[in-house]
Amino acid sequence: MYKELLQFFTYSNNENKNVYNYFRGQSHSYSLVPNILRKDVEQTYRNEFENLYLKISHEFPEKITYFNLQSCDVEDREYQLSLLQHYGLKTSLLDITSNPYIAMLFMLSSSFDEYREPTLFLFKIDETLHRDKHLFTEVRKSKLNERIVAQKGAFLNFDKIFMNKHFDVKKICSVKITLNFSDDEYVKKLEHQIEQITKLLSEDNAELNKEELNNYLILFENEKQKLEDSKKQCLKEIKSELSQKLREYCYFEEDLFPDFETRIRYLSSKYDSNTSKKISL
């Protein structure tokens, strides 16, 4: 199905027709915002980000140069932010890639030990138009940010909103494909049955066969739990199948990390016992 969807959105017989040419994969269906703006990041981090950036530039001047948000050229600052993000700092840059299969590697990066909804975003970007009239940007490549080259990377730079709040925006068309198991109605029915039985068990009524009611309660609760387990198992099987298909086309997760430090961290993490480990884009 993913193959057919990608072919539909990325291929056109008309040379003059724009196609979807940038992509982003996420193991969750969370909002399309950069790390620094996500709900799990404390406001204190956002408030202190400039001071943190400045401090790092003082400690590692050979790698990082500080450019103030209020008085700098956007290209100078975004290059430095790309380096900070490369080394693991949460910034206002949102990674995207020109390669849909690389995006799918990131979409499948979770171990799926809990239920999630893997998501693939597709963007129709005019690189010339949207560089000036939207958040799109292609950061300079260098030996310090080799990951960007390996991941065919670009960014949506949310700093542009703060640096130029009145710029003429041309919208970027986007498509969101989410892997979702639609079980809401069935779960509601199970929960309704559990609620009704629990209510009956709380009543002081000698005519009720409470042993039988308890058996039904256990049955419905087990069914609800098995449903969650089966969804997780399906996710793991889908991940295995898609990952195998990507490997057949020579797309490997480890190739996304060509630089020494990140490569070592990635190889080491493969042997961690942490079930929530994942790669981030």
Q: Could you give the CA distance from residue 104 to residue 14 in angstroms, rounded to a whole number?
A: 26
In tens, the pLDDT along 49-84 reads: 999 999 999 999 999 999 998 888 888 999 999 999
- Length, in residues, of the chain: 281
Cα–Cα distance for residue pair 211/222, rounded to 1 Å: 17
Pairs from 215-221 (Cβ < 8 Å, separation ≥ 24): 220/190, 220/193, 220/194, 221/194
What is the spatial distance between Cα 112 and Cα 117, in angstroms, rounded to a whole number?
Answer: 9
User: Which residues neighbour 159 within 8 Å (Cβ) at sequence distance 6 or greater?
Assistant: 69, 74, 77, 78, 81, 92, 93
Per-residue pLDDT tens over the stretch 94-112: 999 999 988 998 898 888 8
What's the pLDDT score for residue 52? 96
Mean pLDDT, the chain, as a whole number? 83
Q: To the nearest whole percent, how much of the chain has pLDDT over 90? A: 34
Alpha helices by DSSP H, listed for the chain, are: 2-10, 43-59, 74-86, 100-107, 129-133, 146-150, 159-163, 184-201, 210-248, 260-269
Q: From CA 222, how far away is CA 231, in angstroms rounded?
A: 14
pLDDT tens-place string over residues 126-185: 999 998 889 999 877 766 666 665 566 899 999 988 877 666 788 999 999 999 887 778
pLDDT classification of 266: cutoffs 50, 70, 90: low
Q: Please, how many CA atoms are within 13 Å of residue 251, restricted to the half-sphere of its CB?
A: 17
